[in-house]
Amino acid sequence: MSYPQPSTSAYSSTAGESSKSFVATWLLSAFLGGLGVDRFYLGKIGTGVLKLVTLGGLGVWALIDLILVLAGAQKDKEGRSLAGYDQNKKIAWIVTAVLFVLGIVGNIASGTLAAIGS
């Protein structure tokens, strides 16, 4: 008796862990997300081009992608989870939060200094 064999196509399975790194995706998304580099890295060429042309959806798409990466919801082209997420998620959230707060403080300080100088 012959049983149907499961498909061996790379696109048919969403199980397993990707060869794409969570840390690399997180850093690309944080620093070059507005240019779609994170999408190109994950093999998502079509959305990478759209993200590049729209400059990360004027920042909105880039921010959403960064949140998706940090939440562990971003997958590679084949639907697999990024490698190293569980080991690195805490430090990624902390570093992202610190950079965000430093950016806000820096903007407030530069605005205050500009107001004092004029």
For residue 9, the model assigns a pLDDT of 43
Q: Is the pLDDT of residue 50 over 60?
A: yes
To the nearest whole number, what is the mean pLDDT of the chain?
Answer: 89
Residue-level pLDDT at 114 = 80
Nearest CA among 10, 37, 15, 11 for reference residue 24: 37
Q: Mind listing the pLDDT tens digit for each residue in 69-112?
A: 999 999 999 999 999 999 999 999 999 999 999 999 999 999 88
In contact, 80 and 14? CB cutoff 8 Å: yes
The model's pLDDT over 16-34, given as tens digits with 9 standing for 90+, comes to 899 999 999 999 999 999 9
17: helix, strand or coil: strand
Q: How many residues does this entry show for the chain?
A: 118
Percent of the chain with pLDDT over 70: 87
- The pLDDT of residue 1 is 62
